[in-house]
Structure 1
């Protein structure tokens, strides 16, 4: 099914983006989507309580880039004394910069590992790094196969495709799931992230959990599958899938809609194949459990759900910061910005960009934790 792009950038916005680049988000919008309507942004901005000033530096997850674009645009319109710069360098790079003390917070699509928590205590004086789930959403499996605009796959077949065990689009296992499709004998070009990515971590957690016989590699931010072609960032995968007949890849839904890419429906064992939508992702995320200790709110996602309408390839993007020991010069601005992103208005702004707001029970805990940062 071809997803329709919403909220297209105007030609003026595209020109401005090309001119200024995408890294300094206080000045530029997303390469895929811009913020919401002026009226909505103005209304949301009027509720923001600004605090702090100067530069607020952050980096990490490219999965949340489009969310950060919207949030930054709204926040900056209210809080001109703070210059927010979020660099979508990928989860792995973002965590490393945070652990090196270069940023106030990091965006990561997977929670801190025990060794990273231990390292964070050197940066967070008297405290440690914690995970604050702020953005949810589906990881869409995108494809470009001539003559095919409705495709159903399951975890087992996806595992074999991305591990180079299924190499042609007319393979019997794909045909079995798509009896009415005219599948060509085109060679499959499977694209994966070349950089360390929380999106890869979540995608491979899904494969390893839902189809362990087909995907025997341990989940990780670094790609471990056999064969395939690497691409830098979600935008790199989206571009390569769009340009190559026979291609398949995995990206956050906003990159699929923003590039008018077809997405796979998943046969999860539910009564009908499940499409990658924010509503369907929300049904899966609602089954998540908080497994972090203390102020840490790391989640355990249910990748094996078979509930009707629940799309299981989901991720939760965390803002990683210190519970105690945040840098004095950026603490006030960090809390002010994260209070906005966790607010009702901040979460509401996500839906139009292909993201799923964090469930109420969990985001309520995030708000309480942000208030307590020191």
Structure 2
């Protein structure tokens, strides 16, 4: 198997498709208890806020940022490699069940948080069952129609815990036996506004302000840039601390303008991403998203990110070897971020643009185990 070339902003064409070995994480079965983890070599004994219990973590400290299906795919892969995993999730959804709860109750949109929790559920009977339960949507003629069970559980916990979003998500994670933690990137609901050229099909050169994640995800035309409302929102302190304390930070894959880039517009979180000593991976999408990133090449995704966060650097840009047409251009774009390219088979292989968790885990595993050959700690 080829190793990462660290002589410069090189390209690695990963031809292996081996599966990574999972780690025992010592989590309880959902009853709120956490047993001691494996006494694996290199494990860290950390205090755990559950009585006098402790948990020994195996694997690196990893923070994954994003939202929606892209973050879910990344978490499903990463939980196979480490049990010290934190998801930092965007909170700008304004559609569907999340949008209704947000408007009716003034809460954070819970949908992307729920999906992250579901992705962290184990592969045993407990995990599979609870993942299905919280993802289940009611189908009826009444007000519950379309609501996801997990969304309602999260909002109920927020109400019971005096709108403490972090504690509520910790309780949900304990119920599910989640293999990691989930945090919102901000404690206030956010709105996304974008400048879009050609949103009005009758005026293809006109630049229009499009408001809301739901509208932006379906917009025709070219998205030129995004901003958040309120501007300069506060970050959740625990999310900032997790990024600063991480060994690895993974950004993407996911809807580029509505799930990935919003993290870079929260000042405290953006500063933590720039200043952390963690090594960083940018995981690319497998295909452009209709409307939001129509016509985007892999390198254009990288360039747009650099435009929104010019000081942010990455060690590795991860793409699928069969879906990158211009490797030289992607290598050039990655070098602009200070990193190199790893090409590996990460798609499901049936022609649909979906990440395969086992293949994605194998790619992340190659990156993590090559850590001494990537770059010195900053």
- Please give the TM-score of this superposition, normalised by the length of structure 2: 0.25
- Please give the TM-score of this superposition, normalised by the length of structure 1: 0.25
Higher relative contact order (CA 8 A, sep 6+): 1
